[in-house]
């Protein structure tokens, strides 16, 4: 009996009627993307799927998110296939390592893989000591990445030398050349071609052997739900940047005009969403500080007669803060100049317009209360020889005092308000 059970364990796990989950990843690798992939790998395992295919087109992504995906791939109890698709797609940087970690790596013609050198690991500014520290840190991160990809390539039986060069030299390789170099397992024109190429392939994983049976397999395509789409959108640096500026503008407008409510609500929500996005992105807090300084300079313009110098300083601070807002040098983790320039100009225009309205409101002559009636014209209703009587002014009858020779019907102008009594003088000669 024991011998029979041992034979069963040694037999390959041949798929019956294959059911395969298919995921589409066409974005930077961020924590929401890692959560989406991890959740669906777990779901595919628990629901008895025979494999999972990740169709991928990515410029790369964050190291932590990439490592989460790699761990899920390598520890899943079913084969995980990564397919770089469609033609013209790429598996760059973090995407290349995710492909290397898959049980079967496939690419469509016209795609490329590689350029996995770590970036954003320190600047070169400052003195010689700071430069040396930055260089040492960069070497540590690079060496760690090299050891990581070599171990993955060795585990998956792929080209270790190529994996190292992808990190150290940032090489990138087209599909057919990657196949020849042993970086990937097959090149497939489309999904049908991929399923044909996978059929009958043996995958050894976690002390088990799987034989893929993909002919006539049932494919279940899983799309990102609203929650993941929202989280992925918030992880876009351009969206996070715009949300932060909307939040600052809304809060400023609410503080300048208490009681409007709507700008404050929108600003508060936008700031909270922006701070959530900053948790998933490599934020440079010096950039945030410069943007906040720009807001302070714009507000100070109304209090200090700087002849526009504070506004100019605010614009410069805003641009510099926007350019260094995120630490990562990769293009997917930077705010686009096509977003920075128009958004900064709109933001500055908003502040200038708002502050100019505030200045005009402060300089406007009062039109209500005691000061509002001074300078108004009225008509004498009754008048006595002692220089007192009633005047119809501002839609009301007022007690008034003025020259003794005024007569009912004379036009007068208010020169002063004493308590509840007007002081008037004639507009023209008395009758």
| Sequence-separated (6 or more) residues with CB below 8 Å from residue 255 | 264
Catalytic residue among 15, 49, 72, 93: 93
Residues paired with residue 411 on neighbouring β-strands, in sequence order: 379
Asked if residue 86 has a cis previous peptide bond (ω within 30° of 0), the answer is yes
| Sequence-separated (6 or more) residues with CB below 8 Å from residue 129 | none
Cα–Cα dist 230/233, whole Å: 5
Burial profile 133-150: b = 16 or more Cβ within 10 angstroms, e = fewer: ebeeebeebeeebbebbb
The pair of structure tokens assigned to 156 is 């998956």
Catalytic residue among 140, 169, 204, 218: 140
Strand order in the sheet with 112-114: 90-92, 112-114, 172-174
Identify the residue whose tokens are 């640096």.
237
Assess whether 140 carries a catalytic annotation. Answer: yes
Instruction: With beta carbons less than 8 A apart as the criterion, state whether 136 and 113 touch.
Output: no
Assess whether 16 carries a catalytic annotation. Answer: no
Say if strands 421-426 and 396-401 run parallel, antiparallel, or are unpaired.
Answer: parallel
Instruction: With beta carbons less than 8 A apart as the criterion, state whether 74 and 132 touch.
Output: no
Torsion of CA 298, 303, 306, 309, to 10 degrees: -10
Distances (CA, A) of 173 to 63, 92, 177, 182: 21, 10, 6, 11
* Spatial CA neighbour of 115 closest among 149, 139, 156: 149
Which residues participate in catalysis according to the annotation?
93, 140
């Amino acid at each position: 009996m024991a011998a029979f059970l041992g034979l069963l364990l040694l037999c390959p796990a041949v798929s019956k009627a294959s059911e395969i989950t298919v995921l589409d990843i066409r974005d930077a690798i961020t924590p929401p993307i890692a959560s989406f992939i991890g959740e669906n790998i777990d779901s595919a395992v628990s629901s008895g799927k025979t494999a999972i295919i990740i169709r991928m087109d990515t410029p790369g992504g964050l190291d932590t998110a990439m490592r989460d995906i790699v761990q899920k791939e390598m520890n899943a109890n079913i084969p995980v296939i990564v397919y770089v698709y469609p033609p013209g797609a790429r598996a760059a940087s973090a995407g290349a390592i995710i492909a290397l970690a898959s049980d079967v790596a496939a690419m469509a013609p016209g795609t490329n893989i590689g350029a996995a050198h770590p970036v954003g690991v320190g600047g070169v500014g400052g003195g010689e000591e700071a430069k040396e520290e930055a260089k040492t840190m960069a070497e540590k991160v690079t060496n760690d990445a090299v050891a990581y990809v070599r171990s993955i390539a060795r585990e998956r039986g792929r080209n270790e030398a190529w994996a190292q060069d992808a990190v150290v030299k940032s090489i990138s390789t087209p599909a057919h050349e990657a196949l020849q170099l042993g970086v990937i397992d097959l090149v497939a024109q489309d999904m049908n071609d991929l399923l044909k190429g996978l059929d009958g392939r043996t995958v050894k994983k976690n002390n088990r052997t799987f034989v893929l049976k993909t002919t006539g397999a049932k494919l279940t395509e899983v799309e990102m739900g609203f929650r993941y789409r929202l989280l992925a959108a918030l992880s876009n640096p351009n969206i996070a940047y715009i949300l932060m500026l909307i939040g600052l503008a809304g809060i400023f407008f609410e503080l300048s005009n208490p009681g409007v409510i709507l700008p404050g609500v929108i600003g508060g929500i936008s700031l909270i969403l922006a701070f959530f996005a900053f948790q998933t992105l490599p934020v440079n807090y010096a950039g945030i500080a410069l943007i906040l300084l720009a807001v302070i300079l714009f507000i100070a313009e109304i209090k200090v007669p700087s002849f526009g110098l504070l506004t100019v300083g605010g614009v410069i601070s805003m641009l510099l803060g926007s350019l260094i807002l995120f630490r990562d040098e990769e293009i997917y983790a930077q705010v686009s100049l096509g977003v920075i320039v128009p958004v900064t100009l709109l933001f500055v225009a908003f502040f200038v317009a708002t502050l100019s309205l505030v200045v005009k409101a402060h300089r406007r002559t009062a039109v209500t209360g005691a000061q509002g009636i001074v300078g108004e014209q009225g008509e004498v209703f009754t008048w006595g020889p002692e220089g007192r009587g009633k005047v119809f002014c501002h839609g009301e009858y007022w007690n008034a005092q003025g020259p003794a020779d005024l007569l009912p019907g004379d036009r007068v102008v208010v020169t002063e308000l004493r308590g509840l009594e007007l002081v008037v003088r004639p507009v023209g000669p008395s009758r």
